[in-house]
């Protein structure tokens, strides 16, 4: 579950969270200093660019995770099993 959160959900949401933080700081700055001008609104957000950045980050995180496992692509893995009361971790199948 944590792996899915770190490799899929977080990279997809990161551009939106960063833009939200930017908007919060921009509104706080214009309100506190009295700067002329209107802070940006959510309706003016670059939605396409944020979504594309999220998808690119997700693909990059999945690629890094896939390359860091040390298993060659196309290798069939045997899931963890219970043998004689002990858990045998996943391992490449013998072929």
The pLDDT tens digits of the residues spanning 35-78 come to 566 667 777 788 899 999 999 999 998 888 877 777 777 788 88
What are the helix (H) ranges across the chain? 2-4, 10-33, 47-68
Whole-number Å distance between alpha carbons of 62 and 56: 10
Whole-number Å distance between alpha carbons of 51 and 12: 7
The domain in which residue 16 lies consists of: 2-72
Domain count, the chain: 1
Asked if residues 33 and 47 have their Cβ atoms less than 8 Å apart, the reply is: no
Structural domain includes residue 34? yes
Structural domain includes residue 9? yes
* pLDDT at site 92: 81
Structural domain includes residue 92? no
Structural domain includes residue 91? no
Whole-number Å distance between alpha carbons of 76 and 94: 9
Output the pTM of the full model.
0.59
To which residue do tokens 């551009």 refer? 15
Q: For the residues 19-40, what does the mean pLDDT come to?
A: 74
The chain-wide mean pLDDT, for the chain, equals 82
């Amino acid at each position: 579950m944590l792996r899915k959160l770190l490799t899929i959900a977080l990279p997809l949401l990161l551009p939106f969270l960063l833009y939200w933080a930017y908007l919060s700081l921009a509104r706080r700055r214009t309100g506190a200093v009295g700067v002329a001008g209107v802070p940006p609104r959510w309706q003016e957000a670059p939605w396409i660019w944020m979504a594309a950045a999220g998808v690119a980050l997700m693909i990059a995180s999945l690629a890094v995770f896939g390359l860091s496992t040390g298993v060659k692509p196309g290798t069939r893995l045997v899931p963890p099993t219970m043998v004689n009361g002990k858990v045998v971790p996943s391992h490449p199948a013998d072929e």
